[in-house]
Amino acid sequence: MKQELDRDKMMKELIDKNKFLTKKSNFNFKCNACGRCCFNQDIILNTYDLLRLRREFEEPTMLILNKYCEVYPGPQSKLPVCLLKFNNIPNEIPNENISICPFLKPEFYKELEDLLAICDSKEEFDEKSKIMIERNTLKTKGVIKSICSIHKNSPEVCKLYPLGRALVFDKKKKGALPKTKYFEIPKDKLLCDKECFQCKATVKNYLKNNSLIDPEKEKLGERYNKLIMEFAQLIINYKGKFEDYTLLSLYLQNFDLLFILRAFRKTDIETKKNVINQLKLAHNEIDGEKIILDILASTKKIKSINQSLAFKSLMKQASEKDLKKLFKNLLDVYDDLLLNLKEKYAKKT
């Protein structure tokens, strides 16, 4: 993807010229929620982003992935990467594709959702929603302002924008966790209004205003990123021989499906078909009961995810503390998964 190549080039320049910002650095920006950054983007979701989407929609990972995401092997790491699916929109300019975030909605979207809930037919909704849209556009002089409909649970890369974030290792400290560094995305690549840059602030102010200052979460994030790098290194070390892509994807992205898989042996034929179909939707190479049984055999050796934490964090009223507890539990499981995979492939060489 072109955007991935552009990011790689920008990251190399940042590291070479050491252009990273500290929390005390000036960052004169205040978002006015214009929504222009919600078009034509590649939004990579990490595990914590998926935890927030689960909380937002009160739906398990199987449904979140099927509705809003695409999981594919990373071009370099070959790790399962979770990409937010943008919706293509009609465009009259030839050879110009425009896509929009599925969570960008009209400012009055809640009124529309309430209306949809009480209407008995599509015709009734179409008629009443037309009146509602006309009423709202009259207030705004014909302009329909769009906003993020999941702002509290939006991906961290969205909360950060137009700040970027990178992971940097201290070469002098062997085995140390990577440190999070910040950088400013070049203004010529932004679509933000000029007035957004007229405030006086620092990186710390911006992070605080967007609920991104959380020392405990930062430490968990650094641990997560180190694990991701180790999984990627494992795949590189056993290039062509690595056969656990689906297992990794289940743990990193589709972990709710693991609870269903555990009951697989005891279920009836119809339920088994449903489980296989769920796997096929999220993992294209899954085909048949044997592969599922092989995955089950692998999961037996790995520490279990805490099901009560997983259920509690699925609720809309779940706190950030609840999410961090499950995230920490997942990291403990990932540690065990990594150890098992290292032992498995070491035996094969």
pLDDT, residue 1, reads 47
Cβ–Cβ < 8 Å for 281, 68: no
Q: Which residues pair with 80 in a beta bridge?
A: 73
User: Beta strands of 18-74 (E only): which ranges?
Assistant: 44-45, 69-73
Q: Among candidates 26, 9, 20, which has minimal Cα distance to 206?
A: 26
pLDDT, residue 37, reads 87
pLDDT, residue 320, reads 95
pLDDT, residue 251, reads 95
Angle formed by the axes of helices 47-57 and 215-237, nearest 10°? 120
Helix extents (H) in the chain? 2-17, 47-57, 61-68, 109-118, 122-139, 156-160, 203-209, 215-237, 245-252, 256-262, 269-282, 289-299, 307-312, 320-348
Q: What is the mean pLDDT of each run of 10 residues along the chain (349 residues)?
A: 52 61 88 83 94 96 93 89 89 70 86 86 87 73 76 92 80 71 82 84 89 91 92 91 90 89 66 67 60 78 93 95 97 97 88
Q: Rounded to whole angstroms, how far apart are CA atoms 280 and 269?
A: 16
* Other CB atoms within 10 Å distance of the CB of residue 201: 14
What pTM does this model have? 0.84
Domain boundaries in the chain?
A: 32-102+148-160+214-348, 108-144
Q: Which residues pair with 166 in a beta bridge?
A: 181
**3-state DSSP assignment of residue 100:** strand
Tell me the two tokens of residue 310.
Answer: 């997983």
* Other CB atoms within 10 Å distance of the CB of residue 257: 21
For residue 58, the Cα-to-chain-centroid distance in whole angstroms is: 16
* Other CB atoms within 10 Å distance of the CB of residue 104: 19
